[in-house]
Amino acid sequence: VFQAMAISECHFINGTEKVRFVERQIYNRMQDMMFDSDVGHYVGFTPAGERWAKAANSNPEWMEDRRAQVDTHCRHNYEVSRPFIVERRGERGA
């Protein structure tokens, strides 16, 4: 059985003041490549991942979209979810 997965993560520091978008490409439990918005490009971790990262990094439209994910995915979803994740913190113990 082969398994391929793409995982997207948003890391928030002090609300949306500092936001980091990370995308991981994983195949059979091995991370092939990763995009980190703090780095600004894909990094490959396997021979195939290095080839895929090189191809992705050479596509300006794709990279513009990846870099924009901080705003279009992370900050957007933070604002949509904020009433459920931030303003409800103290309710559990009350």
Residues 6+ apart with CB under 8 A from 36: 20, 21, 22, 43
**How many angstroms separate the CA atoms of 10 and 38, rounded?**
12
pTM of the model: 0.81
Residues 56 and 63 sit within 8 Å (Cβ to Cβ): yes
Section 84-88 average pLDDT: 67
Residues 11-49 pLDDT 10s? 988 877 899 999 999 999 999 999 999 999 999 999 999
pLDDT band of residue 91 (cuts 50, 70, 90) is low
Torsion of CA 17, 18, 21, 22, to 10 degrees: -150
Domains with residue ranges and CATH for the chain: 4-86 (3.10.320.10)
Section 61-65 average pLDDT: 96
* Among the ranges given (25-34, 40-49, 64-73, 75-84), the one the predictor scored with the smallest mean pLDDT: 75-84
Residues 44 and 52 sit within 8 Å (Cβ to Cβ): yes
